[in-house]
Amino acid sequence: MRVSRIKIESFLVKIALTREQEAGCDDCARLSARLAQAMLAENIQEPELIAILYHLQQCIPCAEEFKVLNDCAQMDAEDSWPSFEEMWRALGAGEDAPLP
Ligand SMILES: [Zn+2]
């Protein structure tokens, strides 16, 4: 699966150049679905969305949430959701980890 982080990093220069708008966690929650779609289309033009990308560089909770959302959007677009068995095995890989 393609890694969203690489894509995000490729926008860093653009972000640095257009950083007029500051986004917060609320904006991030509001616009993250749109950003995920824009990333899939590889077409991020709106300053609003670029501001969210910038926020994701700095806010770890938002970045983690966005990664999940982005992975889901990608699997939806590619119709590549793992099977139940694959997910189960993936969970099994963390078997030794303490329960939350
Ligand atoms: Zn945030």
How many angstroms does the Cα of residue 89 sit away from the middle of ligand 1? Answer: 31
Domain ranges of the chain: 4-92
Q: Which token pair is 87?
A: 């997910």
Specify the DSSP class assigned to residue 52: H
Q: 12: Cβ–Cβ under 8 A, 6 or more apart, which residues?
A: 57
Task: Report the predicted TM-score, pTM, of the whole model to 2 decimal places.
Answer: 0.63
Give pLDDT tens digits for 57-75: 999 999 999 999 999 998 9
pLDDT of residue 70: 92
What is the 37 CA–ligand 1 centroid distance (Å)?
A: 19
Query: Whose CA is closest to 76, among 29, 28, 40?
Result: 40
Q: Average pLDDT of the chain?
A: 81
The pLDDT, as a whole number, for residue 25 is 95
